[in-house]
Amino acid sequence: SRPILDMSYSRHFLDFQGSSIPSSMKKLVVTKLSQNFREAVTLQHDSPVPLPGDGDLLVRNRFVGINASDINYSAGRYDASVKPPFDIGFEGVGEVVALGLSASADYTVGQAVAYVKAGSFAEYIIVPAKQAVPLPSVKPEFLTLMVSGATAYLSLKELGDLSEGKKVLVTAAAGGTGQFAVQLAKKAKCHVIGTCSSDEKGGFLKSIGCDHTINYKTENVESVLRKDYPEGVDVVYESVGGKMFDLALNALAIKGRLIVIGFIAGYQNPTGLQPIKAELLPVKLLKKSASVRGFFLNHYLSDYKMALQHLLKMYERGDLVCEVDFGDMSPEGKFTGLESVFRAVDYMYMGKNIGKIVVELPHSVSSKL
């Protein structure tokens, strides 16, 4: 019998809008390890809605974020010790609909919160109160900051050494994290070059301040960089891998830094990697006193809250564009409901998105009033 504040069992779970919280819910579960997301993941229709413990919030998800690494997670690449079945999804935004007694010191029913926690692809999720981020309202824009914004902010702050006049190359610049790398590098008064796959994406990048866009479908990135930046670029924010990694490495200036935040080109391969010309890496780095650094958000969680607060303030001041892509332009339309997560993942891997892909989970409110 765990205490639920203001949710007395005589009324059982009544949420703030007067509709009862159901006893079962839908959620996505990894039932077999595979880099093919559709093969790995199953939509379950009758999972029990979990009960919050003393320090927990029960959050009804309204928006969940799609990440390139969802495929790495469903392929079992992050932690080989975790065996299926396990829950999937990394982040969400929603309302608190029930909470434990000590959690009620800081939260109330009806409050908007965001969180980063495995298992977000579900209608309801338990979030420890100390891991939740209170929000002024339930808006999908806030979701863009949780993983994507924080990754761009912390990687550039910790590893980028940005300063005025530096040349920064962002690959997959119109994507979920790329949009923030572009804007944050511009805030540091850098000259920003962004690669993208369409003229529409190029237009978006120019609208958020990108100085030079390169459409890799119609232009030769290597020759453009060689011609326009003969001295090389100072920082590369790299998330593509494979040939793009090689090309970015070759484009580094003296003392240049290449920050690896992903290698999406390899995520759907059974091996997970596209070959790079790594045997020449020591020579290339030595010749330029250059460096390659990896960045994984989980290793920087001590700075996470600070980064998020900074980004939230920037957004609220109007200093940051948080572009959300609901898939309105995808063949079957907007990503609505957990069943559309599969389409949303496909859409990302086809390189169609501009900004962060978000899935909306609408809920019907059957008021008792």
| CB-CB contact of 187 with 181 (8 Å) | no
Domain membership of residue 350 (yes or no) is yes
Q: What is the pLDDT of residues 295-324, one digit of tens each?
A: 999 999 999 999 999 999 999 999 999 999
Q: What is the CATH number of the domain that holds 251?
A: 3.40.50.720
Q: What is the CATH number of the domain that holds 132?
A: 3.90.180.10
**Does residue 154 sit in the same domain as residue 89?**
no
The pLDDT score that the predictor gives to residue 282 is: 95
Handedness of CA 213, 218, 223, 227 (dihedral sign): negative
- Kindly report the number of other CB atoms within 10 A of residue 149's CB atom: 30
Quote the CA–CA distance of 140 and 108 in Å, as a whole number.
21
The answer to whether the bond into 85 is cis (omega within 30° of 0) is yes
| Residue numbers of the domain that contains 69 | 14-138+323-360
**Does residue 213 sit in the same domain as residue 285?**
yes
Bigger pLDDT: 270 or 96? 96
**Does residue 150 sit in the same domain as residue 127?**
no
**Does residue 120 sit in the same domain as residue 25?**
yes
The pLDDT score that the predictor gives to residue 15 is: 47
**Does residue 122 sit in the same domain as residue 212?**
no
Domain ends where: 264, 283, 299?
299
Give residue 192's pLDDT band: very low, low, confident or very high (50, 70, 90): very high
Quote the CA–CA distance of 286 and 62 in Å, as a whole number.
49
**Does residue 253 sit in the same domain as residue 328?**
no
Q: What is the pLDDT of residues 109-164, one digit of tens each?
A: 999 999 999 999 999 999 999 999 999 999 999 999 999 999 999 999 999 999 99
Domain membership of residue 37 (yes or no) is yes
**Does residue 176 sit in the same domain as residue 290?**
yes
Residue 91, pLDDT above cutoff 70: yes
Number of domains in the chain: 2
**Does residue 177 sit in the same domain as residue 130?**
no
Q: What is the pLDDT of residues 172-187, one digit of tens each?
A: 999 999 999 999 999 9
Domain membership of residue 318 (yes or no) is no
**Does residue 257 sit in the same domain as residue 329?**
no
Domain membership of residue 308 (yes or no) is no
Give residue 363's pLDDT band: very low, low, confident or very high (50, 70, 90): confident
Q: What is the pLDDT of residues 41-55, one digit of tens each?
A: 999 999 999 989 889
**Does residue 194 sit in the same domain as residue 174?**
yes
| CB-CB contact of 138 with 95 (8 Å) | yes
Quote the CA–CA distance of 94 and 78 in Å, as a whole number.
26
Domain membership of residue 251 (yes or no) is yes
Give residue 245's pLDDT band: very low, low, confident or very high (50, 70, 90): very high
Domain membership of residue 315 (yes or no) is no
Domain membership of residue 2 (yes or no) is no
Output the average pLDDT for the chain.
92
The pLDDT score that the predictor gives to residue 364 is: 59
Quote the CA–CA distance of 176 and 108 in Å, as a whole number.
31
